[in-house]
Homo-oligomer: A and B are copies of this chain.
Amino acid sequence: MKTPDEKKPDAKYLALCGGVGGAKLALGLSHVLSPGQLTIMVNTGDDFEHLGLHISPDIDTVCYTLAGRSHKERGWGLENESWQMMSTLTELGGENWFQLGDRDLGLHLYRSRALARGESLTAVTQHICSSFGVKHTVIPMSDDPVRTMIGTERGELAFQHYFVREQCRPEVRSFCFRGAETAQLNPLCETLLNDRALKGIIVCPSNPFISIDPILATGQCREKLIACGKPLIVVSPIIAGQAIKGPTAKIMNELKVPCSSLAIAKHYSDIASTIIIDDNDRDEAQEIEQVTGIRVSSSATLMKSEQDKINLAMFVLSQLQTGA
C-alpha cells in the first residue's frame, strides 16, 4: 500500500534546464505536471551585464517558452518582437552584437531595477513568471553571480562573448564557472531535495558543458543531487551523432569527446540513474549500460511540435516511475 506522499498528484519533480533545448522539455513537463509538482531550476552561468542591464538569457527563454510567447523559429526572444532600440543604438555606434528586442527590453529594465533595489533574482523571476501567467516554479540556480568563462585558443572569453559576439567560432579548451564554488545553491532547490515528495530529477536536453555543468558546479549541487538519493534521468541532447541546435557537437569535437549519447552518459555517470536516448540510437543502449552502469531507455527525443514535448515529458515521468 502506498503512503499518501507517493500518490501521483503529490509527486514532485526538479528539472535542470538551460536555454532553448531544455526549455522545450520544460514546456512539455509543465503540460503534464501541476504547478505544485514541477520546479524548473535554470542555468544562470550565461547571465551578464550589458548596456547596464542584467540579462538572464536562459531564465528568459524558459519563462517566454512556458508563457507561450517565445519566438517559434528562433527559440529565444519573443514573438512579435520589434528592434527599434537596436536601430538607434546601431546608429549611435553603440554595442550592438547582442540583440535586444523592444518588448524584451521592458523585462531587462524591470529586472535590473529590481535587482538594484536589492531584490533577489529568485524573487524577480517569480514576479516576472507570475506576471506572464507562468504557474510552474522557475528558479535560478543561485541568487549569487556565477559566470561561465570559456577557455579558448584565443584566451578566456565571457560566455556571451564566446556564444553571441564570437558566434562560438573560437576553439574551446576548457570551462570555468566563476563564483560557482562560493555561490549558494538556490534554497528552494535545497528544500526540494530534502522533500520526501521529490520523486525524481530531470536533466533536460541542454548542452551539458555550458548549460548543465554550471548548475552542477554551483553550491555543491552535484554532491547534493547524489546525496539526496533520488532517481536522476538525463535526456540526451544528441541524436544520431548530432546536436539538435547550438554548439554542443562542435564543443564535443573540440574537447575530443565523441559526439554520442555514450559520451553524454559518461559525462553524467556520477549522478544519472537513467538516460533517455533517441530511438535512432537504440543500438547504442547496451554499450552505454555496460560502460556506465546507467539504465538506458529510448524514445523520440526530437521535439518539434507541442505534442512531441508532451510525449517526451510523459515518457520521462514514466521512466522515473519505473526506475524509482
**Number of copies of this kind of chain in the complex:** 2
Q: Is A82 an interface residue (CB 8 A)?
A: yes
Known: A92-B131, A93-B131. A84 touches B106 (CB 8 A): yes
Cβ contact of A89, chosen from B87, B91, B95, B106, cutoff 8 A: B106
Q: Please, which residues of chain B bring their CB within 8 A of the CB of A92? A: 106-107, 110, 127-128, 131
The reply to whether B85 and A51 contact each other, CB–CB distance below 8 Å, is no
Determine the chain B residues whose CB is within 8 A of the CB of A52 once the complex forms.
52-53, 109, 112-113, 116
Inter-subunit contact A88/B112 (CB<8 Å): no
- Asked if A86 is at the interface of the complex by the 8 Å CB criterion, the answer is yes
Stretch at the interface among A97-105, A153-161, A181-189: A97-105
Residues of B within 8 A of A87 (CB): 103, 106
Dominant secondary structure at the A interface? helix
A90's closest neighbor in chain B, by CB? B106
- Find out whether the CB atom of B84 lies under 8 angstroms from the CB atom of A102: yes
Encode A115-132 as 1/0 by CB contact (under 8 A) with B. 010000000000110011
Residues of B within 8 A of A94 (CB): 106, 109-110, 113
Chain B residues near A84: list those with CB within 8 A.
81-82, 84, 101-103, 105-106
Pick the contact of A102: B90, B102, B113, B116 (CB < 8 A).
B102
| Residue contact B82 to A102, C-beta cutoff 8 Å | yes
Bound-state CA distance A266–B87 (Å) is 46
List residues of A (34-55) whose CB comes within 8 Å of B's CBs.
Answer: 51-53
Q: Which residue of B lies closest to A131 (CB)?
A: B92
Q: Are B88 and A105 in contact (CB under 8 A)?
A: yes
- The minimal Cβ–Cβ distance linking A261 to chain B, given in whole angstroms, is 39
Interface string of A42-71 (1 = CB under 8 A from B): 000000000111000000000000000000
- Residues of chain A touching chain B, judged by Cβ–Cβ distance below 8 Å, are 51-53, 81-82, 84-95, 101-107, 109-110, 112-113, 116, 127-128, 131-132
